[in-house]
Amino acid sequence: MKNEILETKDGLFTVTVMVNGEKKELPVRNSESLLDALRRHGWKGTKKGCDTGDCGSCTVILNGRPVLGCLTPAVTAHNGEITTIEGLGSVHEPHPLQEAFVEAGAVQCGFCIPGMILSSKHLLDNNPMPTEAEIRKALDGNLCRCTGYVKQVEAVKKAAAKMARGRKK
Ligand code: FES
Ligand code: FES
């Protein structure tokens, strides 16, 4: 059974969420975005770029779909499941997408990469062997000010091949 959202005395709301597979109770402000709430509670891999829904750097997966954290009120994530970049892999055990982005030279400053990787993960979870057009469509909301949107596409193809070889996590 789902929990009711609780309002605490100081005007905060306690949202119950699964973040990267762990149950958390997060106090959030009524007006706070999911992006700000995640960052304030330590998931700083979720990047704050424009804060107006234009750049995609704040992308996280909420209940199986990529969402823009800056446009998603944190209270609406109550009882939801969230995946942030921290949930994919680690330096010692990277996700195939993380490996592929590095191997393809798709990372320059890195600011856009968490959002790009989460959009790519959603794509590959639903379409394990996408065409180039499908990859470009999946990434069209993720802006990058450093690169030419070529190596990221190569990276997603590379990750799809790695995952097809049985490295899927
Ligand atoms: S920070 Fe959310 S879209 Fe740019
Ligand atoms: S690598 Fe710098 S914004 Fe994309």
Q: CB-hemisphere CA count at 13 Å for 50?
A: 16
Q: DSSP labels for 119-146?
A: HHHHHHHH-SS--HHHHHHHTTT---SS
Prediction pTM value? 0.94
Q: Which residue has the higher pLDDT, 14 or 11?
A: 14
Q: Which two tokens stand for residue 26?
A: 């997060």
Does position 169 have pLDDT exceeding 60, yes or no? Answer: no
Q: For the chain, which domains are there?
A: 6-87 (3.10.20.30), 96-164 (1.10.150.120)
User: Three-class SS of residue 3?
Assistant: coil
pLDDT tens figures, 66-124: 999 999 999 999 999 999 999 999 989 999 999 999 999 999 999 999 999 999 999 99
pLDDT tens figures, 12-44: 999 999 999 999 999 999 999 999 999 999 999
Q: Which residue has the higher pLDDT, 61 or 8?
A: 61
* Rounded Cα–Cα distance for residues 141 and 115 (Å): 9
Cβ–ligand 2 distance for 167 under 6 Å, the answer no
User: Three-class SS of residue 18?
Assistant: strand
Length of the chain measured in residues = 169
Q: Whose CA is nearest to atom 3 of ligand 1?
A: 53
Nearest to 80 by CA among 92, 88, 72: 72
pLDDT at 168: 45
Cβ–ligand 1 distance for 38 under 6 Å, the answer no
Q: DSSP labels for 22-89?
A: EEEEEEEETT-BHHHHHHHTT-TTS--SSSSSSS-TTEEEETTEEEEGGGSBGGGGTT-EEE-GGGT-
Question: Which of the ligands is closest to the CA of residue 114?
Answer: 2
Cβ–ligand 2 distance for 110 under 6 Å, the answer yes
- Which atom of ligand 2 sits closest to the CA of residue 146? 2
